[in-house]
Amino acid sequence: MSAPNKSYDPVEVEALKPEEIERMRDEALAAFAAAGDLDALQEAKVAHTGGTSPLALANREIGALPPHAKADAGKRVGQARGAVNKALAARQTELEAERDARVLVEEAVDVTLPYDRVPAGARHPLTTMMERVSDVFVSMGYEIAEGPEVEAEWFNFDALNFTPDHPARQMQDTFFVQGAKGADSDGESGVVLRTHTSPVQARALLDREPPVYVVCPGRVYRTDELDATHTPVFHQIELLAVDEGLTMADLKGTLDHMVQSLFGADMKTRLRPNYFPFTEPSAEMDMLCYVCKGESVGNPDRSCRTCSSEGWIELGGCGMVNPRVLIACGVDPEKYSGFAFGFGIERMLMFRHNVEDMRDMVEGDVRFTRPFGMEI
């Protein structure tokens, strides 16, 4: 930088001529506009705004001007530098945006690539179906009761009013457990694999004071060979309510509520008289076919596979708890009454999910179970 020179004539300073300053500004603007990327812009920036750029040099000359000329020249240079910096910033922003956009494009992936690094697991639909049915009642205030699968005959039969020679007792194809005498000990142990979840009713009544409201889901056993429609090991869910003043209408209402919860608001049940030792009166319960809603009956154009165009699907057995069962469990039948029902989970799974072969539910094939996921 040169020292102030009071005698210096401003007109002789070429760089500060207005046309010169305009030219420098325009050159800078043109260079920025021409910069195709951030590197080029950086070069242009150094060239046109750096310490040795024409405008910077011109600015330096201002100090050498006579006082009356300084303000004028300073204003001109200042305006020019302002315009240049603004243009630089604008171009900078523009080029950065372009670069960012380009990088994101380059980073793009095929998001449709499959990802089965650890394939999903699943719970068995029988398990989740039992939970789902149980939860309908748990939300009403019922509790879940459980009992042993290897069960005393007294609980499985006697307490439920199956007398030792009752024909119904023979209807149940019971697995008997060996006693001390080994294989020849028919009935000697007094222990069986439970043939239904009903013994849990007796246990629940012995464990609790009325009112008793329980559901009992679980595994049961009968001596059927496995085929498309039978399995020796299957699952039931049982319900028991014992309270003052319970009626068959309450049983009907509870069943209606269950099928509505599981199959939709327009569902209902139908009771038909039947016989079970542990209920009196007893009934067979059917639910309206949830597929055709009964409209397939007598209507060949609308035949229904789910209910075989019967309009109703057989669900299981139910009734008012036989007072003899209450007596055996220490509940006063003069004061309390109750209702109970039970049905097979396999059957419900078969018609609700169109399972055609019982074996699919027992073989543990992952191709069957996996699609059911975590809940049903």
- By CB under 8 A, the residues from 108 to 137 that bind other proteins are 113-124, 126-127, 131
Nearer CB in complex with other proteins: 6/117? 117
Check binding of 73 to other proteins (CB under 8 A): no
Which residue in 26, 35, 31, 28 sits closest to 96, CA to CA?
Answer: 35
Nearer CB in complex with other proteins: 223/303? 223
Nearer CB in complex with other proteins: 59/369? 369
What residues does 213 pair with on adjacent strands?
Answer: 241
What are residue 51's phi and psi, to 5 degrees? -60, -25
Shortest distance, position 201 Cβ to other proteins, whole Å: 14
Beta strands 337-344 and 233-243, pairing class: antiparallel
Check binding of 266 to other proteins (CB under 8 A): no
> CA-based angle 316:321:326, to the nearest 5?
145
Which residue in 190, 177, 162, 208 sits closest to 338, CA to CA?
Answer: 208
Shortest distance, position 256 Cβ to other proteins, whole Å: 5
Shortest distance, position 104 Cβ to other proteins, whole Å: 21
SS3 at position 361? helix
Residue pointed to by tokens 């074996």: 359
DSSP string, 206-269: HHSPSSEEEEEEEEEE--PPP-SS--SEEEEEEEEEEETT--HHHHHHHHHHHHHHHH-TT--E
Shortest distance, position 247 Cβ to other proteins, whole Å: 3
For other proteins, the binding residue among 206, 227, 229, 308 (CB under 8 A) is 206
Stretch that binds other proteins, among 26-34, 51-59, 83-91, 364-372 (CB under 8 A): 364-372
Shortest distance, position 164 Cβ to other proteins, whole Å: 8
Nearer CB in complex with other proteins: 25/270? 270
Shortest distance, position 120 Cβ to other proteins, whole Å: 7
Check binding of 179 to other proteins (CB under 8 A): yes
What are residue 151's phi and psi, to 5 degrees? -130, 150
Which residue in 56, 44, 50 sits closest to 92, CA to CA?
Answer: 44
Check binding of 253 to other proteins (CB under 8 A): yes
Check binding of 161 to other proteins (CB under 8 A): yes
CA–CA dist 136, 334 (Å, integer)? 30
In total, the chain counts a number of residues equal to 376
DSSP state of 278: T
Check binding of 30 to other proteins (CB under 8 A): no
For other proteins, the binding residue among 49, 172, 274, 306 (CB under 8 A) is 274
Check binding of 272 to other proteins (CB under 8 A): yes
Residues 181-200 that bind other proteins (CB under 8 A): 182-183, 185-191, 193
DSSP state of 14: G
354: region left, alpha or beta (phi > 0 left; psi from -120 to 50 alpha): left
- Copy the structure tokens of residue 179: 């006693």
Check binding of 10 to other proteins (CB under 8 A): no
Nearer CB in complex with other proteins: 32/155? 155
Residues 80-109 that bind other proteins (CB under 8 A): none
Check binding of 264 to other proteins (CB under 8 A): no
Check binding of 39 to other proteins (CB under 8 A): no
Check binding of 47 to other proteins (CB under 8 A): no
Nearer CB in complex with other proteins: 27/280? 280
For other proteins, the binding residue among 27, 72, 94, 143 (CB under 8 A) is 143
Nearer CB in complex with other proteins: 83/362? 362
Residues 309-348 that bind other proteins (CB under 8 A): 320, 322-324, 327-330, 337
Name every residue whose Cβ is closer than 8 Å to that of residue 255 and which is 6 or more positions away in sequence: 269, 271, 285, 287, 318, 341
CA–CA dist 311, 287 (Å, integer)? 9
Residues 213-242 that bind other proteins (CB under 8 A): 213, 219, 223, 225, 232-233, 241
